[in-house]
Amino acid sequence: MAIKLTNSQQIVAKVFADLDMQETNHKVLDIVNWVGEAIERIGTTTHLQFKVTGQDGLDLIEVKDYHARLPRDLFKVESVLFTKEVNDSSIWQHMRKSTNMFGAKNDENVSGYTYFLKPGWINTNVREGFIKLAYYVFPVDENNYPLVPDSAIYSEAVYWYITMKLLYPKWIKGQIRPEAYLEAKRNWGLYKNKAHAQLMYPSIDEMESLKNQSLTLMPDVNAHSNQMAHLSEQEQYYNQGGRYITREYKGFYL
């Protein structure tokens, strides 16, 4: 379920107010990092910003000598397309993740295009070309504060994660009652699960797409080659000269 985003500064301010803390640059940076940690631990991508290189002013990624540098703001790679040259007649083909234990470069004799990821870089089984990368990034505001879903449950989850992190060193040193830290930890676990469920709950349109993916007689094993574009379509069968055809856009015969 997609939710509009809001600034996490409001959550940070609430933490300082509720715990009667003095604001310092060091502590603010720690808390901003904890906001990012909370987002990762809640574990959904529905509110993350989706980007595609070669679109919306982003440059394509050029492969040289079997590798290329990944975008600095990348959080998660969703899909990779490849072409040997860029022009009006370019044919973009899907790449798949290499299963070669020694990296994609050793896949030169493997059919199709493959890639292998390592921190900051993508390695391919072709020496040169161009990549169109679909990926997710953490949305941030002009001050680099993370943007979070505008949801009371999600904000509570992030709030309790920050509170738990602040109370942990005091709990370890015996400076606070154990119940205080355990209460924060318990609330974090409770609201984390609620926030995850809220974001993952599908809309009516998403449920229709999920239904069409599930209720099929013939698995669409080639969906990856056309960017999964037809997975949400309802499966159709037609009588054609005594034979039956499924998913007419492909022309597969049973």
pLDDT level of residue 70 (50, 70, 90 thresholds)? very high
Tokens at 178, concatenated:
């154990």
Q: Which residue bears the tokens 């069968």? A: 237
Which tens digits make up the pLDDT trace of 160-203? Answer: 999 999 999 999 999 999 999 999 999 999 999 999 999 988 88
Task: Name the domain boundary from 117, 137, 157.
Answer: 137
- Together in a domain, 101 and 74: yes
Contact 84, 129 (CB under 8 A): yes
Q: Is 251 helix (H, G, I), strand (E, B) or coil?
A: coil
Count of residues making up the chain: 254
pLDDT at position 206, please? 87
- Together in a domain, 33 and 151: yes
- Angstrom CA distances, 24 to 27, 139, 159, stand at 5, 24, 18
pLDDT level of residue 2 (50, 70, 90 thresholds)? low
- Together in a domain, 18 and 83: no
Task: Report the number of distinct structural domains present in the chain.
Answer: 3
- Together in a domain, 114 and 159: no
The whole-angstrom separation of Cα 161 and Cα 180 is 13
The whole-angstrom separation of Cα 129 and Cα 67 is 10
pLDDT at position 103, please? 73
pLDDT at position 143, please? 83
Amino acid (one-letter) located at 236: Q
Task: Name the domain boundary from 104, 137, 170.
Answer: 137
| % of residues, the chain, pLDDT over 70 | 91
The whole-angstrom separation of Cα 49 and Cα 41 is 17
Which tens digits make up the pLDDT trace of 7-58? Answer: 888 898 888 888 888 776 668 888 989 999 999 999 888 888 999 999 999 9
pLDDT level of residue 105 (50, 70, 90 thresholds)? confident
Residue 178 lies in a domain: yes
What residues have CB less than 8 Å from 30, skipping those under 6 apart?
165
Residue 222 lies in a domain: no
> What is the pTM (predicted TM-score) of this model?
0.77
Element holding 163 (H helix, E strand) = helix 152-172
Task: Name the domain boundary from 121, 137, 153.
Answer: 137
Residue 210 lies in a domain: yes
Element holding 57 (H helix, E strand) = none
Residue 98 lies in a domain: yes
Tokens at 54, concatenated:
């070669």
pLDDT at position 142, please? 87
- Together in a domain, 40 and 82: no
The whole-angstrom separation of Cα 180 and Cα 189 is 15
- Together in a domain, 145 and 186: yes
Residue 223 lies in a domain: no
- Count CB-CB contacts under 10 A for residue 8: 24
Residue 100 lies in a domain: yes
- Together in a domain, 130 and 74: yes
Tokens at 160, concatenated:
């309790």
Domain residues for the domain of 240 are: 204-217+229-253
Residue 224 lies in a domain: no
pLDDT averaged over every residue in the chain? 86
- Together in a domain, 125 and 240: no
- How would DSSP label each residue in 13-36? HHHHHHTTPPP-HHHHHHHHHHHH
Contact 254, 241 (CB under 8 A): no
- Together in a domain, 159 and 35: yes
The whole-angstrom separation of Cα 50 and Cα 236 is 31
The whole-angstrom separation of Cα 159 and Cα 142 is 21
pLDDT at position 218, please? 78
Tokens at 116, concatenated:
């292998």
- Together in a domain, 155 and 36: yes
- Together in a domain, 132 and 145: no
Going 164 to 48 to 205 to 222, the CA torsion angle's sign is: negative
- Together in a domain, 133 and 55: yes
Residue 96 lies in a domain: yes
